[in-house]
Amino acid sequence: MSSLPTFADVQAAARRLEGVAVRTPLLENPRINDKLGGRLFIKAECLQRTGSFKIRGAYNFLASMSETDRRNGAVGWSSGNHAQGLAEAGRLLGVKTTIVMPADAPALKVANTRASGAAVVLYDRVKESREEIGMDIARKTGATVVPPYDHPWILTGQGTAGLELAEQATALGVTLDAVAAPCSGGGLATGVALGVKGIMPNAMVHAGEPVGFDDLARSLASGRKETNARLSGSICDALLAPTPGDVTFPLAQKLLGPGVVVTDDEVLDAMEVAFREFKIVVEPGGAVALAAALTGKLPVKGRTVAVVCSGGNVDHATFIRALQRYQPA
């Protein structure tokens, strides 16, 4: 597809994902609603297979490939959720996957990726380029490169979370004023916007980013692709893409409202609220949209708002750090 992906593409992806993706629940809490003076829903994608929404895009990508291409396998690079999503999608579809991961990635993430049957190639983060290694594998084996976000098949797969969310809200008799989703390269946020607006065209959709990694918010404001000054330094390890994608940015310009930007402390507090009030485990990057709603940066007062909590792959120490911030009233 050379033109921008559409709602119909998200609907087609949803049909491919039927029985594969968990229909994650839309959660609500009367105490939080009272506190915010509106209605807040959480789409709990942390409960998705592999602990994040990434299986949606990866599976949709592999399922959209030709039979011949599938036989030659797929290759991707990621230290986190895309690795696990792609590996598991490969296992489910019988496609051989190779994942290029940093040698210093947490042992548990490497083990989880291998447990799905993927071949893991480790690289030196300082001396080597994962893109070069991945491209080299693709050239030598004929494997298809599966990008983490900047591809129509990926973002329309992620968009099925938005489609579901809007369907679930409709079943509750609710019309959403606004929806927000975490944003790294923009695959989830733009996909969700496509999915939501196909059902609720008047809903505003916003991308949430951590302070210092708000390339999309700044790009939307300036009208051109901006780049982050740093490559690391936020607790939101899943949201550090340096600049919007070539496919996702024009779609973001068309579909998204202004970005919302939150601090690491606001993210930790949102993780604690997700634990205490919603009983879900959310990783830092998965909690940015929730943090925006809880802090009022994304206003909920007098409105009906849904946020995507996109993943739950958080280590024990970080989660304990979030819980320890709680001060009983």
Q: Please identify every residue annotated as catalytic.
A: 54, 310
Stretches 4-12, 70-78, 112-120, 145-153: which one binds its own copies (CB under 8 A)? 112-120
- By beta-carbon proximity to its own copies, the closer residue of 25 and 242 is 25
x/- string (CB under 8 A) for its own copies, residues 213-252? ----------------------------------------
Regarding 18 and contact with its own copies (CB under 8 A), the answer is: no
Regarding 74 and contact with its own copies (CB under 8 A), the answer is: no
The least distance separating its own copies from the CB of residue 157, rounded to whole angstroms, comes to 19
Could you give the 3-state DSSP secondary structure of residue 258?
A: coil
CA torsion, ordered 67, 68, 71, 73, to nearest 10 deg: -100
The least distance separating its own copies from the CB of residue 85, rounded to whole angstroms, comes to 13
The least distance separating its own copies from the CB of residue 249, rounded to whole angstroms, comes to 31
Is the torsion defined by CA of 89, 91, 92, 97 positive or negative? positive
- Residue among 88, 214, 226, 269 that touches its own copies (CB under 8 A): 88
Q: State how far the Cα of 141 lies from the Cα of 136, in Å rounded to an integer.
A: 9
- Residue among 38, 51, 80, 134 that touches its own copies (CB under 8 A): 51
- By beta-carbon proximity to its own copies, the closer residue of 186 and 285 is 285
Interacting residues with its own copies between 270 and 299 (CB under 8 A):
275-276, 278-282
* Residue pair 245/185 in contact by the 8 Å Cβ criterion: yes
Cβ atoms within 10 Å, residue 225 = 15
The least distance separating its own copies from the CB of residue 27, rounded to whole angstroms, comes to 6
Q: State how far the Cα of 251 lies from the Cα of 156, in Å rounded to an integer.
A: 11
Cβ atoms within 10 Å, residue 25 = 15
Tell me the two tokens of residue 287: 């909690």
Q: Give the type of residue at 70.
A: R
Interacting residues with its own copies between 153 and 192 (CB under 8 A):
172
* Residue pair 146/75 in contact by the 8 Å Cβ criterion: yes
* Residue pair 128/157 in contact by the 8 Å Cβ criterion: no
Between β-strands 74-77 and 97-102, what pairing exists: parallel, antiparallel or unpaired? parallel
Q: Which residues bind to its own copies, rule: CB under 8 A? A: 19, 22-25, 27, 30-31, 34, 44, 46-47, 51, 88, 91, 107-108, 111-112, 115-116, 172, 275-276, 278-282, 312, 316, 319-320, 323-324, 326, 328-329
